[in-house]
Amino acid sequence: MVADNVLKPIWEITDDDWESAMSVNLSGAFYCARAAAKPMADAGKGKIINVASGFGLRGGRDIYMYCTSKGGVIQLTRVLSFSLARYGITANSIVPGFIPTIDPGAEINRTLPQSGDFLPTGKLGKPEDLGPIAVFLSSDASDYMTGEMFILDGAGLAAGITPTGHAPVAALEP
């Protein structure tokens, strides 16, 4: 997604902006699941793993399109899990928190934290942190799990951290 299509007051969001964000984040997950579901059902088993975002579980200032589309991915995963379980297919979502994956100069970085000092873990995540959970969800070890969200965010949601661009003033150590 282009950074200038992420942070906008609602009155500046064009129909094209909205459709583009929904296409990339939500429709992409839907079309992939739709293409994979029938062959998986025919095989009697399968694993669908979607990647959402902590922003799909809460709001973010002027991040309408991203938050809405990632929330839709979480709900799509729930519907897939319920609907496809009878065919031996599981559907789960990985919900990353603050994991820098975009150009450091991008406009969205104005509201994202630059360090993990405010998180209980004291650090931001890395893209490679998602690999082990994806491997687990792809394996037989997760056969009885479906419709779940696996949150990887340094305990940000558990701590009530909100993405406002300001870290809470609270000591992380006793």
- 2 pLDDT above the threshold of 50: no
- The structure tokens listed for 153 are 């965010």
3-class DSSP state for residue 119? coil
Amino acid of residue 79: V
What's the pLDDT at 174?
A: 59
Tell me, yes or no, if 66 is annotated catalytic. Answer: yes
Residue 170 within a domain? no
| CB 110 within 8 Å of CB 165 | yes
Average pLDDT over residues 99-110: 65
Identify the active-site residue in 31, 66, 87, 144: 66
Residue 74 within a domain? yes
Q: Which of 120-129, 134-143, 162-171 has the lowest mean pLDDT?
A: 162-171
Question: What's the CATH number where 99 sits?
Answer: 3.40.50.720
Name the range with the highest mean pLDDT among 35-49, 53-67, 99-113. Answer: 35-49
Whole-structure pTM value = 0.83
* DSSP per-residue string spanning 39-105: HHHHHT-EEEEEE--GGGSS--TT-HHHHHHHHHHHHHHHHHHHHHGGGTEEEEEEEE-S---S-TT
Residue 107 within a domain? yes
